[in-house]
Amino acid sequence: MTAASAKQLSQGMARRLLQLLGVVLGVAVINFFLLRLAPGDAAQVLAGEAGAATPEYMLALRHQFGLDQPLLVQFGKYLLNLAQGNLGFSFRHGMPVAQLIAERLPATLLLMGASIAFAVLLGSALGVLAAYRAGKLADVVISTLALLFFATPLFWIGLMLVVVFSVWLDWLPVGGMFTIEAGYTGWAHCLDVARHLVLPALTLGLFYMAVYTRLVRATMIEVRRQDFVRTAVAKGARPLRVLFAHVLRNALLPLVTMLGVQVSSIIGGAVLVETVFSWPGLGRLAFEALFQRDFNLLLGILLCSSVVVILVNWLVDFVYTRLDPRIRLR
Amino acid sequence: MSELVSVLPASQIAAPQRRRWWHRLLRSPAALVGGTLLLLVLAMALSAPWVFPGDPLDMVTEPFVRPGVDAAHLLGSDMLGRDLLSGIFHGARMSLLIAVVSTLLALVLGMSGGVLAGYYGGRIDALLMRVTEFFQTIPAFLFALAIVAVVQPSLLTIALAIGVTSWPSLARLVRAEVLKLRYSDMVQASAALGASDLRIMLRDILPNTLTPILVSTSLMVATAILTESSLAFLGLGDPNSVSWGNMVGAGREVIRTDWYITTLPGIAIVVTVLALNLLGDGLAAVLDPRDQK
């Protein structure tokens, strides 16, 4: 690596960190003022339904959160806490919010990873098939399916999959992440989790699969018309090599871009899917927080999922440079 | 003088083009199917109070009537004896109303933001770009959920939450379109004739950005319906009216035995969203200048 590109890379890192900081600050502002929009003051919101709160306890809470101080001082304290990684305390769970989120995050990442892998692999395969058979029966069937899945709400498709595969066929578990009473360890445990993962990952992935199928089909048809593909065919490259090395590699670029844009929507989808399948991740936690009116936790989840979006986007940028060497990390 | 300049082309060129546009749209199967389905849903929404007078949340028959068994309740009833078909008709009102209000809000915010940023550039543009980037980073659904949860669900707050979280992508689209026109001969001619900034934005630039906006509007309405039903499914619907998402969520508890209670309202959502997507596809194909053969 030359000195110039090293400098460029470190500048890029600084830019990324600045972006991360900006988003965290933005969400913090939103969270802070959203909490004050809730009926009653934050102490009531935070403690109100945590049980019987005595007036003394409320007063102590107000003091602890600095609610008896001017708004700007409150906001400053909130930011100071945030800078120390302190997202507040969930009275419902009797645990710091940050710790709760850290416990649930891996399950969500597993679900998202499996869904994205499924959506990208099957979506590009179906897109390629449809593009090569454009106008024929296979294309019509695939395009219709894609159109249908693109219009189907996640939560409903999840419930329908449960009806078919869990209730009628009894092939897969209805929900949860593992069979608690079985107490599996090692490989048996992994297999158990994988069995529980199939339906949620399918549910979350089908919508994005539909998006990628449509996208890959459209770009494949466009890329195949280009000169470098004709050259590759003319020089006698085998059809499969033309497909993988020339056409698909270029058709995947828009897919990766789209994936980066959609990370935040995938997290939103995970909330719904986790609710349907009782998957013990961030989304399920958000749903519980919603029901228990544990707004501090809910807003902490909003903050952390935004950070996840940024981190995944860094990863996507990196993949992009692997796929297209003309693009450098900036 | 400036009146003459803007009136002449509008009457001579735009009219035949517009007619062609309609003809092409009618020949697009996607737009035709989508438009017909959408009209059907719209008819359901508008006729609901006459076809099914009375509160759809009231118990009208015994619970768990299967679809097709009782002629008075074609699609059967749910676990509380509420007529499912009535719920679907009235739910169409709610879904479409929230979707339209939130999309209108997003249109106003997105168009004004995009036009201002594209036209003036500089700091306003930089600010808008930062704001839209921010909105595209935070999970929109979670954000909408947090807003509705904190300020309590009602028709207005749900529409507001969806609108506020969905305008940034439109603003970026409009900005890109405005940038294409900002230094065009047409805009410079208007400026030379002494037109004000506001007039140029409203009379020259905005009308020429309408086609891409139209396409993305149909997709925005579709997304708004999906978001609204998702919120309602999680229990964040207006508590005083039926909603498709809420019906799906309620039927969940008896899904093992009476799956139709969950399935039927879901089909209504799929049909409506499909109709809007098809319409959007059709419009995009018809309005795509590369396709003018």
In-domain check, residue B114: yes
Q: Give the pLDDT of residue B103.
A: 93
Task: Flag whether pLDDT at B121 surpasses 70.
Answer: yes
* Inter-chain CB proximity A155 and B150 less than 8 Å: no
Highest mean pLDDT among A60-69, A238-247, A294-303, B40-49: B40-49
Q: What is the pLDDT of residue B99?
A: 92
Is A35 touching B (CB cutoff 8 A)? yes
Domain count, chain B: 1
Q: Which band of pLDDT confidence, cut at 50, 70 and 90, is reported for residue B271? A: very high
Statement: residue A39 has pLDDT above 50: yes
Write the CATH number for B180.
1.10.3720.10
ipTM score assigned to the predicted complex: 0.83
Which residues from B are below 8 Å from A when comparing CB atoms? 130, 134, 136-143, 145-147, 149-152, 222, 226, 229-230, 233-236, 245, 248-249, 252, 255-256, 259, 262-263, 266, 269-270, 273-274, 277-278
Residues A267, B142: C-beta atoms closer than 8 Å: yes
The pLDDT of residue B293? 40
* Residue A114 vs residue B283, higher pLDDT: A114
Task: Determine the pLDDT at residue B4.
Answer: 42
3 state DSSP class of A178: coil
Angle (CA) A88-A93-A97 rounded to 5° is 25
- Option in B136, B229, B236 nearest A153 (CB): B229
- Owning domain of residue B106: 42-54+72-291
Query: Tell me, what's the pLDDT at A36?
Result: 72
| CB-based burial label for A145 (10 Å; 0-12, 13-18, 19+) | middle
Any B CB within 8 A of A21 CB: no
Residue A48: pLDDT over 60: no
A268 and B142 within 8 Å at the Cβ level: the answer is: yes
Average pLDDT over residues A88-97: 76
Nearest chain B CA: its distance from A22 CA (Å): 8
Specify burial of residue A276 (Cβ count, 10 A radius: 0-12, 13-18, 19+). Answer: buried
A302 touches chain B (CB under 8 A): yes
Residue with tokens 């992009």: A320
Q: Pick the more confident residue, A88 or B8.
A: A88
Rounded to whole angstroms, how far apart are CA atoms B56 and B51? 11
Q: What is the pLDDT of residue B17?
A: 54
Of the candidates A34, A160, A265, the beta carbon closest to that of B150 is on: A34
In a domain, B61, yes or no: no
The reply to whether residue A291 touches residue B236, judged by beta carbons under 8 angstroms, is: no
For the segment A180-193, the average pLDDT, to the nearest whole number, is 73
Asked whether residue B231 is assigned to any structural domain, the reply reads yes
Q: What residue ranges in B82-218 does DSSP mark as E strands? A: none
Contacts (Cβ under 8 Å, ≥6 apart) of A271? A282, A283, A286, A287, B141, B142, B145, B234
This model's pTM is above 0.90: no
User: Which of A48-52, A173-177, B169-173 is the least confident region?
Assistant: A48-52
Flag whether B7 is in a domain.
Answer: no
pLDDT digits (tens, 9 = 90+) for B7-16: 444 444 444 5
pLDDT at B288: 66
Q: Is 60 exceeded by the pLDDT of residue B289?
A: no
Note whether B292 and B35 are within 8 A (CB).
no
**pLDDT > 90 in chain A, percent:** 5
pLDDT band at B106 (very low <50, low <70, confident <90, very high): very high
Share of chain B above pLDDT 90, in %: 15
Domain ranges of chain A: 12-86, 106-323
**Model pLDDT for residues A259-289, shown as the tens digit of each residue:** 888 888 888 888 889 988 888 888 888 888 8
Q: pLDDT value at position B13?
A: 46
Tell me whether residue B8 is in a domain.
no
Mean pLDDT, rounded, for B44-48? 84
Question: In sequence order, what are the residues at sequence separation of 6 or more whose Cβ sits closer than 8 angstroms to the Cβ of residue A9?
Answer: A1, A329
User: What is the mean pLDDT of the segment spanning A20-49?
Assistant: 73
pLDDT exceeds cutoff 80 at B6 = no
Architecture of domain A106-323: Orthogonal Bundle (1.10)
Residue A329 pLDDT class (50, 70, 90 cuts) = low
Give the per-residue pLDDT at A45. Answer: 61
Is residue B101 scored above 90 in pLDDT? Answer: yes
At position A165, the amino acid (one-letter code) is F
Tell whether B267 is covered by a domain: yes
Q: Is residue B134 part of a domain?
A: yes
Distance CA B181, CA B178 (A): 5
Please count the residue pairs, one from chain A and one from chain B, whose beta carbons lie less than 8 angstroms apart: 129
* Cα A177 to Cα A273: distance, rounded to the nearest angstrom: 12
Q: Test A295 with B252 for CB contact under 8 angstroms.
A: no
Lowest mean pLDDT among A76-80, A302-306, B136-140, B198-202: A76-80
Rounded-to-integer distance, Cα B141 and Cα B147, Å: 10
> Percent of chain A, pLDDT > 70?
89
The residue-averaged pLDDT of B91-107 equals 91
